[in-house]
Amino acid sequence: MSLVAEGVSAGYRGRRILTDTSLTVAAGETVGLRGPSGSGKSTLVRVLALLHAPDAGHVSLDGVRVSGVRHRVPASVRTRIAVLFQSPRAAGDPRLTLADLIAEPLRAVRHPRERIGARVAELADRVGLTADLLTRRPHAVSDGQLQRACLARALVHRPSYLLCDEATTMLDASTQALVASVIIGEQRETGLGVLVVSHDPALLARWAHRVEDLHRPVPIR
């Protein structure tokens, strides 16, 4: 059981960012990913999350090759991979309350309405969001509180794999520790596979079972 990028090449507007890159995240494993700016770490996350189509290579989920990206992938497949991005303010709709932000992925797949509230309450409690915070919109909470809501949203479908793209960079030490604790707890409970992208060697040493290096690609002439 694993999430695999196999021989992936990818870029934007004709500019190659990744070339023949492979990475495996096994169920229950935490993989660290490091590399210089511009080496394609975020691009690889987006390819693995089925948000960006590679120019070559492919993504496999538990041994099955995945075709397409975004809503061209069946909900039963794409909801098994979740992402926690670096900037919580860029990741969600600023018009939504934190409760609606967490619930949004469930509503998108027409999850039974009567079960949504219970799932939101369960996850809010897990990430330390009180009832009064759930009624607020992003502009009325701190970055740490908003990132906790984004973590709850990422876990709302009980994904098999969680991709953390510099997800703790903008957080204070206590919130970093809480986010890591919640993810590790989920991993122990469900066998969640985790990819942690970070420039922080201490964080990777503490958290990851192994660390992969992504190097800046040589320009194609």
Judge residue 25's burial from the number of C-beta atoms within 10 Å of its C-beta, 0-12 exposed, 13-18 middle, 19 or more buried.
buried
DSSP letters, 88-120, are HHHHS-TTS-HHHHHHHHHHHTT--HHHHHHHH
End-to-end CA distance of the chain: 38
Distant-in-sequence, close-in-space partners of 160: CB < 8 Å, separation ≥ 6: 1, 3, 27, 61, 62, 80, 81, 190, 191, 192, 193
Residue 127 and residue 181: Cα distance in Å, rounded? 9
Distant-in-sequence, close-in-space partners of 184: CB < 8 Å, separation ≥ 6: 207
Beta bridge partners of 15: 12
pLDDT at position 220 is 46
State the average pLDDT over residues 43-51: 97
Q: In the predicted model, is pLDDT for residue 12 greater than 50?
A: yes
Task: State the pairing for strand pair 210-213/193-197.
Answer: unpaired
Neighbour tally for 130: CB within 10 Å: 10
* Residue, of 96 and 37, whose pLDDT is higher: 96
37 dihedral zone (left: phi>0; alpha: psi -120 to 50; beta): beta
Tens of pLDDT, residues 74-131? 999 999 999 999 999 988 899 999 999 999 999 988 888 888 999 999 999 999 999 9
Which residue ranges form the domains of the chain, and what is each CATH number?
A: 2-213 (3.40.50.300)
Residue 195 and residue 98: Cα distance in Å, rounded? 25
CA Rg, the chain, in Å? 17
Confidence grade of residue 221 (pLDDT, cut at 50, 70, 90):
very low
Neighbour tally for 95: CB within 10 Å: 10
Q: What is the mean pLDDT of the chain?
A: 93
The closest of 81, 68, 46 to 194, measured between CA atoms, is 81
